[in-house]
Amino acid sequence: MNYDINEVKALLEDDIHLLGYETLRYSIFKGEENDREEYQVRMEKSEDSFEVYMTADRASVIGKYTFENPFDAMDQFLNIMQSRILTNRRRIRDGEPPEYSCSLWDK
């Protein structure tokens, strides 16, 4: 099935805004090699599927998930965002450095 990626992007950005996750590092449909940052959640369209993954240090790829529909991909994208918030809050609490500075976990 063909999905309008502009509509998918708008829906996902609305969810990100409603959750208050705008300050996290993320990229939606910008191309795998464009605007890459360390510790960034990314979603890309690849032929007939949607890929969700995170970059690590030096923007290397970790944990790539592939979905046939954008809604499952959006859920995974938001789950990864939430896990990064929790992980970095734990790191701060335990006296460890966070992945990067962000108002969602910095004090």
Tell me the per-residue pLDDT of 60-86, one tens digit each, with 9 for 90 and over.
677 899 999 999 999 999 999 999 999
The per-residue pLDDT for 57 is 72
The per-residue pLDDT for 35 is 76
Please indicate, yes or no, whether the overall pTM of this predicted structure exceeds 0.85: yes
Domains and CATH numbers, the chain: 5-93 (3.30.160)
37 Cβ contact list (under 8 Å, min separation 6): 25, 27, 55, 59
Alpha-helical (H) ranges within 20-55 are none
Closest Cα to residue 80, out of 10, 9, 7, 19?
A: 19
